[in-house]
Amino acid sequence: MFKLMASVAIVPLLAAAAVTSSPDLGKAEARCRSGESGPAFLVEVKGLKDRSGRLKLEVYPANDDDFLADDNVLVSAGKTFRRVEIDTPSSGTPTMCVRLPGPGRYAVSLLHDRDSNRKFGWRVDGIGFAGNPKLGWSKPKSSTTSATAGNSPTRIAIVLNYRRGLGMKPL
């Protein structure tokens, strides 16, 4: 009887693990509508090094276990994960909009993928977070990279950090 119960308990986990890896995970839920009126972050991108590559904005649950976790794992577990990607605009200050599942606190990361390889390379790319924490050699705590969204779009500004010497700092 115990083996049968254990087998039945594992079936939902296996089904959840079947989420296929894709760079499009979280994008459909993240797309803002024209004149977005629901919970969302309007992110002003500050401190671009240049106009190459793409900008990738991601939203995670505001806890250290889920912050920057694998998107497949988050989606499979039914946790918040949103992603918006755009080509880096040729001029002006970019503003990115990402829809949220509801008002609340979320961890937010922004990548300037200068070489468009879909991976963070600390020697090439820029990175920033809500709250604009000072970056060290390890992943920042979610408490320093989070912002609170209301019932309507909430404006935040993220300053990008690039390699400078042995560290990552704003330009």
Instruction: Give the range of the structural domain holding residue 129, as residue numbers without chain letter.
Output: 2-169
What average pLDDT score do residues 92-110 get? 97
The answer to whether the CB of 48 falls within 8 A of the CB of 91 is: no
Neighbours of 116 (CB within 10 A): 13
Mean pLDDT of 53-77: 96
Helix or strand run (H / E) with residue 59 = strand 54-61
Count of CB atoms situated within 10 Å of the CB of 3: 7
Per-residue exposure over 126-148, b if at least 16 CB sit within 10 Å of its own CB, e if not = bbbbbbbeebeeeebebeebbbe
Tokens of 132: 């604009």
- Is residue 116 over pLDDT 90? yes
Count of domains in the chain? 1
pLDDT score at 75? 94
Q: Record the tokens describing residue 85, joined without a space.
A: 């990607």
Q: Output the pLDDT for position 106.
A: 98
Q: Which pLDDT score, from 0 to 100, does residue 19 have?
A: 56
Give the C-alpha separation, 80 to 102, whole Å: 10
Cβ-proximal residues to 110 (8 Å cutoff; 6+ apart), any chain: 43, 45, 55, 56, 57, 58, 96, 127, 128, 129, 158, 160
Q: Bigger pLDDT: 83 or 29?
A: 83
Output the pTM of the full model: 0.85
pLDDT of residue 20: 59
- Mean residue pLDDT across the chain: 88
Q: Which pLDDT does position 6 carry in this prediction? A: 41
Short-list 148, 171, 64, 141, CA closest to 102: 148
What pLDDT score does 156 carry? 98
